[in-house]
Amino acid sequence: MSETIYGNIHSIESFGTVDGPGIRFVVFMQGCPMRCLYCHNPDTWSCDINKQMSAQDILTKYDGVKEFLKNGGITLTGGEPLLQIDFVTDLFKNAKKREIHTALDTSGILFNKEKTDKFDELLKYTDLMLLDIKHIDDTEHKKLTGKSNKPVLDFAQYLSDKNIPVWLRHVVIPSITDNEEYLEALGNFLASLKNIKALDVLPYHNMAIYKYKNLNIEYPLKYIPAASKEEALKARDVIFNAIKANKNY
């Protein structure tokens, strides 16, 4: 009998509507290696044990609300779920036995193209990836997140090669990512991928400031204004125009 794998869980949202198709059962994982300047979940950064749950624990809670999850399934987010890839794989494997749609919201920052065994196993049970590309420029990505974007772009290419459906997310931040040169570069990169099923270009907001205050953490972007919906739509147009201009699309 195999040993039970436990996940370090931050919280659970029973009726998520923005984390994949339909109404979702969303599990927030505890722990993240990045420190994105605009992160709206700083309370998930620490890898200290919060609440340990097994795949069966999660699925039991899912069963309690599954009648209300119209055209949905389970989404794992964070934090960074891939810090706990063994648990994610175990949960998704058991979910697929019950024909539950599985989605993973990740930055891809932990991907290593030289060591893909665990990622290959996970993809057997993953229906959809929600992938965040924080910044297309590596230097600016380091400033924004504290990490290089090379693993992220490698992961995006890996998912394309494996033909795993991806919903791509990008946040428009005034003076940081809201730059035509960067947006065009992002579009050119996305044009090289064959598996992008949706592109969400989201306006930056600062609604998490209160969380930083509660944690006694200085909010890094307090002087950056929130982006408007119109700014996000304009940025989306720039990305799409770059995609369309690329012959590989």
The pLDDT tens digits of the residues spanning 15-52 come to 899 899 999 999 999 999 999 999 999 999 999 999 99
Percent of the chain exceeding pLDDT 90 equals 94
DSSP element (H, E) containing 26:
strand 24-29
The pLDDT tens digits of the residues spanning 207-248 come to 889 999 999 999 999 999 999 999 999 999 999 999 999 854
**What torsion, rounded to 10 degrees, do the Cα atoms 247, 20, 99, 165 define?**
10
Q: Tell me what the pLDDT averaged over the chain comes to.
A: 95
Domains of the chain: 6-245 (3.20.20.70)
Tell me how far apart the alpha carbons of residues 184 and 20 are, in angstroms, rounded to a whole number: 26
Q: What is the pTM of this model?
A: 0.94
